[in-house]
Amino acid sequence: MKKKTKLFIFSTLPFVILMLTCILSINIMELSNESIQIFMVLAYVVAGISILFSIWFHHSRVFFCTLLLVACQISLTIALQSPTRVFNRLDILIYWISILLPISIAIFTFLKERGITTVWGLLKAFLILSQILLVYIDLKNESSAVSKIDFYATQNNNHINAIAIPTISIVIIVGTIILLLLKYMIDKSYIDITMVAVLLTLFIILSIFNTGRIDRINLLFCSIYTILALAVAEASYSMAFLDQLTEIPSRRALDQEMMKLGRSYSIAMLDVDHFKKFNDTYGHDVGDQVLRMIASVISEVGGRGKAFRYGGEEFAIIFSGKTTKEAFLFLEELRVKVEKRAIIIRGKERTTKKPKNKLSANRGNKRVRVTISIGVAQRNERYRTPGEVVKQADLALYKAKKNGRNCTKGAI
């Protein structure tokens, strides 16, 4: 599956889940108390799965977001089941949730992963506990702090039908969503787009709170926890099977893919020519830039080929159902693309002032090109296993190196 296709699928999946949940919740009729309890338990079970996933894979952002959302769900459930006995002011509960939750989610998302049991993790836990304590104290206080804020004109709205999301809360939710979308456009991180879906779901939950339909609310919370659990699964998959530098499948993914191959396939091995010398001349940062460039080119290989980083400056491509002759054409196309792609190395003497024209801007910069050598082999009666085919492709690659580099050779 191509990188752009994967990105599209993972980016839209949270919203597909949200849309399906909304359709399901709209069509749910009034349920019995037993059915409502089932929905509630289901939501907590999925929340538990999300928490376990985040602990197992050390994903602190999802862990603390899930904890905060569980606290929110418990508060809303208690408010709906016994409002007057527990909370004096339901409108104030909605106010605090709609203000604090988006801000907390934004904080957790923008902070880097620093573990759950570290000092940063303890600070996040303290943030959650302090918010719960703040809301609880304010709810028990007859003279609530919220009532004294000018922009939140309210009366004693303990009647559930009179409760609505405050304007300031809508502004904060929309602003947070915009910030997360901008972050996603820059980082292309699945967790960012996941949090956008979480905030949209939260907005729907708060919007339908005045209907008193606790079954719908629990179902929507269940979708939130599902989205978060999938975010952890995707992040864990990326760490295990994607190369962090080039962002293409790693050697581990290659080994797994070779186990699924049938009886007809070809495997190509690619190597960057004179890469060590290039690294020694221009530095490892530029070397990394070269590897990322080559990975971006070979990831778009035709012939339904799948590209992997094999290790160091070496890459591999699997052509399922293709002979060496058929794969050769696509490999030559790749080799030419890499040869024509230039790498710009910025000069050491760079000014912080804006250049007057393009000529002065490019002064001191150097354009260099790299080439690749390719060896390809196919499964046949003599070489039956993927490991044997890889060895033959390596021998063909060695032949390409001996032949002057920047060429493609097939195994005999």
Tokens of 154: 């309210």
CB 238 within 8 A of CB 245: no
- For the ranges 74-83, 91-100, 398-407, the maximum mean pLDDT occurs at 398-407
pLDDT confidence of residue 105 = 92
| CA separation for the pair 28, 120 (Å, rounded) | 42
pLDDT confidence of residue 376 = 92
Per-residue pLDDT at 27 exceeds 70: yes
- For the ranges 145-149, 215-219, 312-316, the maximum mean pLDDT occurs at 312-316
Q: What is the mean pLDDT of residues 237-259?
A: 87
Q: What is the pLDDT of residues 175-214, one digit of tens each?
A: 999 999 999 888 878 888 999 999 999 999 888 887 778 8
Q: Which of 23-32, 133-142, 311-320, 381-390 has the lowest mean pLDDT?
A: 23-32
pLDDT band at 169 (very low <50, low <70, confident <90, very high): confident
pLDDT band at 220 (very low <50, low <70, confident <90, very high): very high
Catalytic residue among 34, 142, 300, 313: 313
Q: Which helix (H) or strand (E) holds 306?
A: strand 306-311
- Percent above pLDDT 90 for the chain: 33
**24-28, long-range: CB < 8 A, 24+ apart:** 24/219, 25/213, 25/215, 25/216, 25/219, 25/220, 28/215, 28/216, 28/219
| CA separation for the pair 217, 72 (Å, rounded) | 11
CATH superfamily entry for domain 251-410: Reverse transcriptase/Diguanylate cyclase domain (3.30.70.270)
pLDDT confidence of residue 164 = 67
The β-bridge partners of 12 are: none
> Across the chain, what does the average pLDDT equal?
83
Q: What is the mean pLDDT of residues 228-238?
A: 86
Higher pLDDT, 381 or 65: 65
pLDDT band at 268 (very low <50, low <70, confident <90, very high): very high
Higher pLDDT, 91 or 96: 96
> Known catalytic residue: 381?
no
pLDDT band at 221 (very low <50, low <70, confident <90, very high): very high
Q: What is the pLDDT of residues 319-375, one digit of tens each?
A: 999 999 999 999 999 999 998 888 887 655 555 555 555 544 455 577 888 899 999
| CA separation for the pair 180, 301 (Å, rounded) | 32
Q: Where are the alpha helices (DSSP H) in 57-208?
A: 60-81, 83-86, 90-110, 119-140, 167-187, 190-208
Instruction: List the strands of the sheet with 314-320, edge to edge.
Output: 306-311, 314-320, 265-272, 372-378, 408-410
CB 190 within 8 A of CB 10: yes
Q: What is the mean pLDDT of residues 43-61?
A: 90
pLDDT confidence of residue 359 = 47
| CA separation for the pair 100, 179 (Å, rounded) | 16
Per-residue pLDDT at 388 exceeds 50: yes
- For the ranges 89-98, 163-172, 320-329, 346-355, the maximum mean pLDDT occurs at 320-329
pLDDT confidence of residue 85 = 47
Q: What is the pLDDT of residues 275-321, one digit of tens each?
A: 888 888 888 888 888 999 999 999 888 888 999 999 889 999 999 99
CB 383 within 8 A of CB 389: yes
Per-residue pLDDT at 254 exceeds 50: yes
Tokens of 269: 């091995």
Per-residue pLDDT at 147 exceeds 90: no
Higher pLDDT, 235 or 407: 407
pTM for the structure as a whole: 0.73
The owner of tokens 């049991």 is 117
Higher pLDDT, 149 or 390: 390
| 94 contacts: CB under 8 Å, gap ≥ 6 | 163, 165, 166, 206, 209
Per-residue pLDDT at 406 exceeds 70: yes
**Four-point Cα dihedral 32, 37, 38, 44, nearest 10:** 150
Per-residue pLDDT at 153 exceeds 50: no
- Percent above pLDDT 70 for the chain: 85
Q: Where are the domains of the chain?
A: 3-241, 251-410
Tokens of 361: 């801007």
Tokens of 101: 């939750």
pLDDT band at 111 (very low <50, low <70, confident <90, very high): confident
Other beta carbons within 10 angstroms of residue 21's beta carbon come to 21
Q: Which of 50-54, 151-155, 220-224 has the lowest mean pLDDT?
A: 151-155
Per-residue pLDDT at 142 exceeds 80: no
